[in-house]
Structure 1
Amino acid sequence: MAKILNLARLDRKLKRLPTVARERIRLGMEEAADEIVAMMKSLVPKDSGTLRDSIGWTWGKAPKGSMVMATAKGSLGADLTLTIYAGNSDAYYARWVEFGTAGHTNAGKFAGSDNPGTRAQPFFYVSWRANKRAAKRIVRKASRDAAKKVAAG
């Protein structure tokens, strides 16, 4: 039968790992979200700035009326749910800018007139796709750094 040396020390380190990992991963997720949001803001059409100012990220749920790009849920608990969003009650048209609108015949005040629609001006999903690998890399590095920190201390 083999005897494991320093088992109590190993146990203490393993118990510390989730706390250290949560802190490091949270910082990594914030860094990645900042990069994605910065790219979105640089790509969005800047007519009045309302849509640009509505782009952001938050821990937990996005503001009501937002278009949610991604919700990253960590396996270490609900406090690691990060949501990147665009739009709010003032910039309700985020989806229309991202995807464009189809031509249609108007109703209401301008009944019978033709609306040609608008072309898509993507800023939202292209930013995510461009940064997805980097975001994953940042979070993986944070996980490794946390394990190294616990192992060293």
Structure 2
Amino acid sequence: MADDLMRQSAKLAKRLAAIPAEIVALVRPALVQGADDLADMARALVPEDEGDLKASIAVTPPGAVTPAYAEGGGRRAAAENQALVTVGNPQARHGHLIEFGTEPHINGGQFAGTQHPGTEPQPFLLPAARLTEDRTRRRIGRAVAQAIRKAGAGNA
């Protein structure tokens, strides 16, 4: 009887250890779809100029690395349970200035000493996140529930 309990305990431990990895793998498509939805909405909301900023909006899937010039100028690896949406590339490094605006200031560089009046914020990324958040949460919740059911059925 003790051997049976030991085998059952080992089998249960193995099942419990396997479930999170299975769930994460089965939820990844929902994470990426949510990020794609957010990126599409941000592209629809970004102010039109030459289109450089719109073209710089990118989705980084789980396990991949963000493009250069995104997220504060550095590169970041997405965790296995993350999909990241970033704005920026070598041609478009001004997303944060559009999103949050700028204060009046004295220019440096080529126009040193001249007064810049500042710019009004034209948010596009945060509104896109708010607009897509509920749908993405529901999609991920459904994916988690399906993954749990599938993981439980496969190990029964």
Smaller-chain TM-score range? 0.7 to 0.9
Please say if residues 58 and 83 of structure 1, whose CA atoms lie closer than 8 Å, have aligned partners that are also in contact: yes
Partner of 1:67: 71
CA spacing shift, 1:18–1:103, aligned 2, 3 Å? same
Q: CA deviation at 1:14?
A: 4.3
SS, match of residue 67 in structure 1: coil
SS, match of residue 83 in structure 2: strand
| Aligned mates of 1:148, 1:109 — CA distance in 2 | 62
Q: CA deviation at 1:15?
A: 5.3
User: What stretches of structure 1 move > 4 A for 4+ residues in a row?
Assistant: 12-16
Q: CA deviation at 1:81?
A: 3.1
Partner of 1:87: 88
Fraction of identical pairs, as percent: 30
Partner of 1:122: 123
Partner of 1:110: 111
Gaps (5+ residues) in structure 2? none
Q: Out of 20, 28, 39, which is 1:18 matched to?
A: 20
- How many pairs were matched up? 143
- State the superposition RMSD in angstroms: 2.8
Structure 2 residue 139 is matched with structure 1 residue 135: no
Q: Out of 50, 53, 71, which is 1:51 matched to?
A: 53
SS, match of residue 86 in structure 2: strand
Gaps (5+ residues) in structure 1? none
Q: Which has the higher strand share?
A: 1
Partner of 1:98: 99
TM-score (norm 1): 0.77
Please tell me the residue identity of whatever aligns with 1:41: R
Please say if residues 67 and 95 of structure 1, whose CA atoms lie closer than 8 Å, have aligned partners that are also in contact: no
| Aligned mates of 2:101, 2:55 — CA distance in 1 | 20
| Aligned mates of 2:110, 2:32 — CA distance in 1 | 46
Deviates more, 1:81-90 or 1:109-118: 109-118
CA spacing shift, 1:111–1:137, aligned 2, 3 Å? same
| Aligned mates of 2:104, 2:89 — CA distance in 1 | 25
Please tell me the residue identity of whatever aligns with 2:37: E
CA spacing shift, 1:67–1:46, aligned 2, 3 Å? farther
